[in-house]
Amino acid sequence: MSLSISDKAILINAIRDIPDFPKPGIIFKDITTLLSDGEAFGVLMQHLRDRYATYDLTHVAGIDARGFIFGAALAQMLGVGFVPIRKKGKLPYTTVSEKYSLEYGVDEVEIHIDAFSGVEKPRVLLIDDLIATGGTAYAAANLINKVGAECIEACFVMGLDFLSGQSKLRDLVEVYTVIGVD
């Protein structure tokens, strides 16, 4: 299921470009303008609901922090649970963690060890706002699988197509991006 040309234009026009943020030469894709635009946010969420309605999901997992916005809203629309995947040290109960490489160092994400307990054969959609190099998403998908669930697909509002993140992540899980950015 793909977006119509007019719906795609609504989404693209609702995302603000911020030049030279967080450093010179970077054009930051600001989704706060999409979130504050009721029509654009509605188009996006309806598209995601329609896409995932037949996936037989038990949960949506969102990556800290913008993935929480889309993930929690989508989970409610689908009538399934929401699970946060957070940066290290932010979850209050026993966690499982996964490290990943950054441009200059290493970071880590965590999930509660019992995030999918009580569900036989959990089927999980991973969601975030953007995929660039794919390190965080790869670690998050690994975490879902580590705690006994199956990561069915990883979904992103935007994909930076000129970077290798999507192809790297496809080694682990199917990837869907609503909008590709060249």
| pLDDT at position 105 | 83
State what percent of residues in the chain have pLDDT above 70. Answer: 100
- Give the residue numbers marked as catalytic: 66, 103
What angle separates helix 38-52 from helix 66-78, to the nearest 10 degrees? 60
Q: What is the residue whose two structure tokens read 């989970």?
A: 75
In tens, the pLDDT along 80-94 reads: 999 999 999 999 999
| pLDDT at position 118 | 93
In tens, the pLDDT along 61-77 reads: 999 999 999 999 999 99
pLDDT exceeds 80 at position 159: yes
For domain 5-181, which architecture applies? 3-Layer(aba) Sandwich (3.40)
Q: 8: which residues sit within 8 A by CB, 6+ positions away?
A: 179
